[in-house]
Amino acid sequence: LSVEQWQADVRFFGEELPKRHRNAFHRMKQADFESAVKQLHDRVPQMNEDEIIVGLMKITAMIKDGHTAMIPREFFRSGAFPVKLYLFSDGLFVQKAATEYADMVGGKVIKIGNLNADETFKIVGQAAFADNEMGVKEMTPLMLTVPEILAGFKIIGDKQKLNLTIETGGKQKVY
């Protein structure tokens, strides 16, 4: 899409979401929503597609409603990295993985891209659609496996490379 088309989409989104949600401003101020929409609209010329989509997802998440989500699957062209992550009380861990990454199962995620796992979780959690913190903890590990989301937050540059640092048995390895 052109810059003008993206900006029209952002404007439309900002106008329609409050109309279509039963009570969009129950947990956030209307002025905060409108400010976020305007900021995204104004930044569109300097953003790529992944960044714009993540921007829309973050604004949607501001509603704090687990039933209101933006999951633009058609823009997630890379699919998902072949790992399942889970947040335990002592950190983010690999719960399952494709055969080629089997040695990382059970390992603790230390870094995603160049950021530590805790920082990355907080950043990506801004786009998680959820009613509360438990919902964010449930949604964010899934979102951390979507290359376009990670790229939209500028956590990774190469959407084809997993780029996880995992610790198993006291040793770290980058995948």
CB of 102 within 8 A of CB of 48?
no
pLDDT computed for residue 74 by the predictor: 87
Q: Give the residue from 25, 26, 1 showing the smallest Cα distance to 14.
A: 25
Residues 6 or more apart whose Cβ sits within 8 Å of residue 107? 93, 94, 166, 167, 168
Residue 66 corresponds to which tokens in the numbers above? Answer: 């687990």
Tell me the one-letter amino acid at 141: P
pLDDT (tens digit per residue) in 98-151: 999 999 999 999 999 989 999 999 999 999 999 999 999 999 999 999 999 999
- 169 DSSP β-pair partners: none
pLDDT computed for residue 25 by the predictor: 94
CA 153, 154, 159, 163 dihedral sign is negative
pLDDT (tens digit per residue) in 29-79: 999 999 999 999 999 999 999 999 999 999 999 999 999 999 888 889 999
